[in-house]
Amino acid sequence: MRISLEDAVAKLRQGEIVAIPTETVYGLAADASNDIALQKIFATKQRPADHPLIVHISDINRVADWAECFPEVAVKLAKAFWPGPLTLILPAKNHVSRVVRGGESTIALRVPNHPMTLALLEFSGLSVAAPSANLFTQLSPTTAEHVEAGLGESVAVLDGGACKVGIESTIVSVTAEGHWQLLRPGMISEDDIIRIAGKPQPQNIMGSDKTLAEEAKPKAPGQHALHYSPRTPLFLFKDKIMLIQECEALTQAGFKCAALLIGKGKQPNCNVVQLPNKPVEVAERLYSALHELDAMKVDRLLVELPDNTPKWAAVLDRLNRAGHRG
Ligand code: TXA
Ligand code: MG
């Protein structure tokens, strides 16, 4: 069900959940200060309660509502990348609900870069918790259609078009002492972070730093097998030749395949989605391509991996979590 910005604000104020567009993926939003509303996110996504949520805020001045401290290195990162696809994990204020933090002592914050959602946050004065608007472990949505296909037609969606970045934000945790750690790669690369924050500290530090690193670890996203997965079994290939051979073998054995290819070259004898050999464009279209391939209802999805170089780190991370190596 598509709804207007005004209706989205009204629903959020009433403690209802609404799917909202961001530049990365669609989020399933609820008022971050309303525990009953937050419970609806966990129930709808079928997400375990110990998985903390990202709180989306309208601007940098709202950090103080949630975080106990805002170390200088985090301020620099926020100023460099917000609004944008960066989530900062900071020590939480005591009053912050355990529901939104999933029992952690920290809180995840980000200012999303989507005009509709920024307008919603500014106009409503709310901060909204929003995990990706998909069932737990399934493919993330990058269009309103994906949200409806995954969560059902009855979910309220604010349609903001196709997401431009296309994969989830980069997550960086920063301790009270200003030490940082990359928890999830995204299109803001580790090198981009290092340029602003300097090199990360070694993690064998005593005191609260050690605690945070240890606490953050089990909660780092996608540690579960089959995160970001399509329903069709997905297999990964280092090059087109191996993928084409596997496609031939599977076809002979009576299995139907479809393939995702990166860049031009020889093609397998099956349905193909081909993406240009460019990280930014592959990221933007990755989940759409996987949703499209999944909808073909074949027996196997065969995916060509891009080069194992830093500029492909975020795309490789998502593909490696979605698939099995061929
Ligand atoms: O781009 C994004 O980040 C999207 C859009 C909607 O903003 N959101 C998103 O949310 O990807 P979600 O819930 O699918 O992934 C957020 C991840 C969770 O897997 C959780 O483990 C991690 O962030 N996270 C949140 N709070 C944390 C905390 N306090 N400590 C460690 N990890 C945390
Ligand atoms: Mg997710």
CATH number of the domain to which 261 belongs = 3.40.50.11030
Alpha-carbon separation of residue 119 from 77, 124, 281 (angstroms): 23, 8, 27
What region does 228 belong to: left with phi over 0, alpha with psi -120 to 50, or beta? left
Cα-to-centroid distance, 140 and ligand 2 (Å):
6
Domain boundary among 185, 216, 247: 216
Q: Kindly report the CA angle at 250 between 247 and 255, in degrees rounded to 5?
A: 115
Q: Which atom of ligand 1 is nearest to the CA of 26?
A: 6
Alpha-carbon distance of 28 to 171, in angstroms, equals 18
Query: Is residue 221 included in any domain, yes or no?
Result: no
Q: Which atom of ligand 1 is nearest to the CA of 219?
A: 21
SS3 label, residue 306: coil
Residues having CB within 6 Å of any atom of ligand 1: 22, 24-25, 27, 51-54, 85, 87, 89, 101, 104, 106-108, 112, 130-132, 168-169, 171, 183, 216, 219, 221
Give the tens place of pLDDT for each residue, 259-287: 999 999 999 999 999 999 999 999 999 99
Query: Is residue 228 included in any domain, yes or no?
Result: no
pLDDT at 226: 55
Cα-to-centroid distance, 275 and ligand 1 (Å):
27
Q: Which ligand sits nearest to residue 229's alpha carbon? A: 2
Query: Is residue 226 included in any domain, yes or no?
Result: no
Q: Which of 26, 93, 157, 219 to mutate to test the pocket of ligand 1 (most atoms within 8 A of CB)?
A: 219
Pair 195, 270 in one domain: no
Per-residue three-class SS string for 18-80: EEECCCCCCEEEEECCCHHHHHHHHHHHCCCCCCCCEEECCCHHHHHHHECCCCHHHHHHHHH
Query: Is residue 282 included in any domain, yes or no?
Result: yes
Query: Is residue 106 included in any domain, yes or no?
Result: yes
Q: Which atom of ligand 1 is nearest to the CA of 130?
A: 6
Pair 117, 264 in one domain: no
Give the tens place of pLDDT for each residue, 23-74: 999 999 999 999 999 999 999 999 888 899 999 999 999 999 999 999 999 9
SS3 label, residue 117: helix
Specify the residue with its C-alpha closest to ligand 1, atom 30.
216
Query: Is residue 224 included in any domain, yes or no?
Result: no
Pair 14, 160 in one domain: yes
Residue 237 clears pLDDT 90, i.e. is over it: yes
Number of domains in the chain: 2
Q: Kindly report the CA angle at 203 between 201 and 209, in degrees rounded to 5?
A: 90
Pair 200, 239 in one domain: no
Regarding pTM above 0.85, the answer is yes
Residue 215 clears pLDDT 70, i.e. is over it: no
Longest dimension (CA), the chain: 61
pLDDT at 180: 97
Give the H/E segment covering residue 88. strand 86-91
What DSSP state is assigned to residue 2?
Answer: B
Pair 187, 280 in one domain: no
pLDDT at 228: 72
pLDDT at 290: 96
User: Would you say 35 and 145 are in contact if contact means Cβ atoms under 8 Å apart?
Assistant: no
Read off φ and ψ for residue 251, nearest 5 degrees: -60, -45
Give the tens place of pLDDT for each residue, 68-104: 999 999 999 999 999 999 999 999 999 999 999 999 9
Pair 35, 80 in one domain: yes
Residue 203 clears pLDDT 60, i.e. is over it: no
Alpha-carbon distance of 75 to 61, in angstroms, equals 10
Residue 207 clears pLDDT 50, i.e. is over it: no
Query: Is residue 225 included in any domain, yes or no?
Result: no
Alpha-carbon distance of 178 to 90, in angstroms, equals 10
Pair 239, 211 in one domain: no
Residue 312 lies in domain: 234-322
Q: Which atom of ligand 1 is nearest to the CA of 171?
A: 23
Residue 210 clears pLDDT 50, i.e. is over it: no
Using 50, 70 and 90 to split pLDDT, how confident is the model at 144?
Answer: very high
Mean pLDDT of the chain: 92
Give the H/E segment covering residue 287. helix 279-295
Specify the residue with its C-alpha closest to ligand 1, atom 17.
221
Residue 206 clears pLDDT 50, i.e. is over it: no
Give the H/E segment covering residue 288. helix 279-295
Pair 208, 255 in one domain: no
Pair 85, 205 in one domain: yes
CATH of the domain at 204: 3.90.870.10
Pair 58, 130 in one domain: yes
Pair 66, 176 in one domain: yes
Using 50, 70 and 90 to split pLDDT, how confident is the model at 229?
Answer: confident
pLDDT at 122: 97
Nearest C-alpha neighbor of 155 from the set 20, 48, 24: 20
Residue 22 clears pLDDT 60, i.e. is over it: yes
Nearest C-alpha neighbor of 112 from the set 124, 128, 97: 128
Pair 152, 19 in one domain: yes
Residue 204 clears pLDDT 90, i.e. is over it: no
Q: Which ligand sits nearest to residue 283's alpha carbon? A: 1
Query: Is residue 57 included in any domain, yes or no?
Result: yes
